C-alpha cells in the first residue's frame, strides 16, 4: 500500500491528527487486518508523551458538547456519539453532560474520553461520575486506553467498508 493510499484509507482514524497516521505508515505496519494494524496505531499513540499527549487529548471533542451540537466534529465522532444517542438528548440530559464536561475538564485539564459506540447515555454518565474520582495520572492512562479502543473500532469500520 502506498503512503497516499494508506493516508486516504486511514487518515482520519486518529481524531484530527493525520500526522500521527503518517507516523503509523512510516512503521510499515501489518495491514492484513484491523487487529494487526491496530498494533501500529497503538505504538504511535504510546509514543506520544508529556505535553504532546495533553495536546492530543485536548483535540478530542466533549461528549454531547457544543461541537457536536453545531456539527463540528469528525464524521467518526458524530457516528460514535450518535450511536449512543448523544445527538438527541433532552434538555435535562444535555445540561447534565455539559456540567460533567466542565467538571471533568476543571479537574483533569482534558476532555472526558470514552469509547461510546453502542453504549447508552446512562452508561456514559455513570462512567463520567466514576472517573471523576480518579487521580490525574489514572485518568490520563484511562483516556489512552479508551482511545486505543476507539482506534480499533474505527479500523474495523475501515476494513468492513
Digits of tens for pLDDT over the chain (161 positions)?
A: 899 999 999 999 999 899 999 999 999 999 999 999 999 999 999 999 999 999 999 999 999 998 888 888 899 999 999 999 999 999 999 999 999 999 999 999 999 999 999 899 999 999 999 999 999 999 999 999 999 999 999 999 999 97
pLDDT at 19: 96
Candidates 60, 131, 140, 154; catalytic one: 60
pLDDT at 133: 96
Q: Which residue, among 101, 161, 108, has the nearest Cα to 139 in the 3D structure?
A: 108
pLDDT at 161: 73
d(CA 11, CA 154): 11
Domain carrying residue 68: 3-160
CA 46, 36, 24, 80 torsion-angle sign: negative
Cell of 135: 487521580
pLDDT at 70: 87
Question: How many domains are there within the chain?
Answer: 1
Determine whether 60 is an active site residue: yes
pTM above 0.85, yes or no: yes
Domain with residue 72: its CATH number is 1.10.3330.10
Amino acid at each position: 500500500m502506498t503512503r497516499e493510499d494508506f493516508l486516504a484509507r486511514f487518515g482520519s482514524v486518529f481524531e484530527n491528527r493525520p500526522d500521527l497516521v503518517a507516523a503509523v505508515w512510516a512503521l510499515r505496519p501489518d495491514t492484513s487486518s484491523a487487529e494487526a494494524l491496530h498494533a501500529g496505531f497503538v505504538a504511535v499513540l504510546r509514543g506520544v508523551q508529556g505535553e504532546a499527549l495533553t495536546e492530543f487529548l485536548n483535540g478530542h471533542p466533549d461528549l454531547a458538547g457544543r461541537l457536536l451540537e453545531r456539527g463540528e466534529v469528525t464524521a467518526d465522532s458524530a457516528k460514535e456519539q450518535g450511536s449512543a444517542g448523544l445527538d438527541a438528548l433532552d434538555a435535562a440530559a444535555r445540561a447534565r453532560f455539559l456540567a460533567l464536561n466542565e467538571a471533568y475538564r476543571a479537574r483533569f485539564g482534558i476532555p472526558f474520553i470514552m469509547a461510546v459506540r453502542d453504549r447508552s447515555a446512562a452508561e456514559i454518565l455513570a462512567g463520567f461520575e466514576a472517573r471523576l474520582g480518579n487521580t490525574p495520572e489514572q485518568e490520563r492512562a484511562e483516556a489512552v486506553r479508551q482511545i486505543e479502543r476507539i482506534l480499533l473500532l474505527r479500523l474495523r469500520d475501515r476494513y468492513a467498508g
